[in-house]
Amino acid sequence: MAWTKWSYMDHWVTETPQGPQPPSFNRAYMDRYVKELSALGFTGFDTFFFYLPLYAGMYGGVPGFERFLQDNGFEKITGIFSAYPSATKYAAPHVRETHDRIVADCTNTLRMCEGLTGVENFIVMPTSTYWQTEPVTDDTIKVVADLWNRVGELTRRHGMTTTCHFEFWGAIRTREQVDTFLAHTDPELVRFFCDTAQHTIAGVDPVQLFRDYADRCTGFHFKDTKDVDEHEAYRTPPDPELMAPQVTRWFYEMGEGGLVDFPALMKEIVASGYDGWLTVEHDKAELGGGSYAEATAVAKWYIDNVLAEAEAEARAELGSAR
Partner 1 sequence: MRDTLRWAYALNQWNVRLDVFVRHEDQQRALKTVSACGFDTIELASGTGRWDNISRPEVILTNHGSHAGFLDFLRRARVQGVSSMFWDPQAPAEEEEGYAFRSTADPDDADAIVEWSRPFVDFVAGVGAEQLVVRPVGSAWMTPPLDADGIKRVGDVWNRVGELTSAAGIGLAVHYDCLGAVHTEAELTGLLDATDPARVGFALDTAELTVGGIDPVAFYRAHADRVAHVHLKDTRHADTGEEYRMPGAESTMLKGGAGRRIERWFFELGTEGGLVDVPGFVAALREHDYPGWVVVESDHGGNPAELAMLNSWYLQHELGIAK
Partner 2 sequence: MTAPERAIKWSYMDHWRSNGPSGPVDQWHSRKTMSAFLKQVKAVGFDAIDTFDFRIWQMYGDYGGPAKYQEMVQDHGLERIVNTFHAADYDVRNYAPHVPETHEAVFEDFRVTMGRWSEIRLDNIIVMPATLFYDMEPITEDKLKYSAECWNKVGEITAGFGVKLTCHHEFFCGIQSEPDIETFYSYTDPRYVNLFVDTAQHCIAGLDPVALYDRHAHRVSGFHFKDTRHVATGDDHRHRPDSEIMAPTTGKWFYEMGTDQGLVDFEAMMRAVRDNGYRGWISVEHDKANKEGGDYSESTAISRWYAKNVLEEIYR
Which residues of the chain form contacts with partner 1 (CB under 8 A)? Answer: 13, 16-22, 24-28, 54, 57-58, 85-86, 88, 90-91, 101, 105, 129, 237-239, 241-243, 248, 283-284
| Partner that binds at residue 239, options partner 2, partner 1, none, CB closer than 5 to 8 Å by kind | partner 1
| Partner that binds at residue 290, options partner 2, partner 1, none, CB closer than 5 to 8 Å by kind | partner 2
Tell the smallest beta-carbon distance from residue 281 to partner 2 (Å). Answer: 20
Q: How many residues bind partner 2 (CB under 8 A)?
A: 7
> Which amino acid makes up residue 231?
H
Strand 44-48 with 278-280, pairing: unpaired
Binding window for partner 2 (CB under 8 A); candidates: 56-64, 122-130, 188-196, 285-293:
285-293
Sign of CA dihedral 73, 305, 254, 79: positive
* 123 in Cβ contact with 193 (< 8 Å): yes
* 49 in Cβ contact with 107 (< 8 Å): no
Nearer to partner 1, 18 or 320 (CB): 18
Binding of partner 2 by 289 (CB under 8 A): yes
Q: How many CB atoms lie within 10 A of CB 108?
A: 11
Candidates 272, 174, 156; CA nearest to 216 is: 272
CA dihedral of residues 15, 19, 21, 23 (deg, nearest 10): -40
| Partner that binds at residue 105, options partner 2, partner 1, none, CB closer than 5 to 8 Å by kind | partner 1
Task: Give the side-chain half-sphere CA count within 13 A for 134.
Answer: 10
| Partner that binds at residue 26, options partner 2, partner 1, none, CB closer than 5 to 8 Å by kind | partner 1
Longest dimension (CA), the chain: 58
Tell the smallest beta-carbon distance from residue 295 to partner 1 (Å). Answer: 15
Nearer to partner 2, 17 or 273 (CB): 17
Binder of partner 2 out of 2, 39, 287, 316 (CB under 8 A) = 287
Sign of CA dihedral 110, 196, 185, 276: positive
- Binding track over 9-28 against partner 2, x by CB under 8 A: ------x-x-----------
Binder of partner 2 out of 223, 290, 295, 307 (CB under 8 A) = 290
* Residues with Cβ within 8 Å of residue 295, at least 6 apart in sequence: 252, 253, 282, 285
Interface residues with partner 2 (CB under 8 A) are 15, 17, 286-290
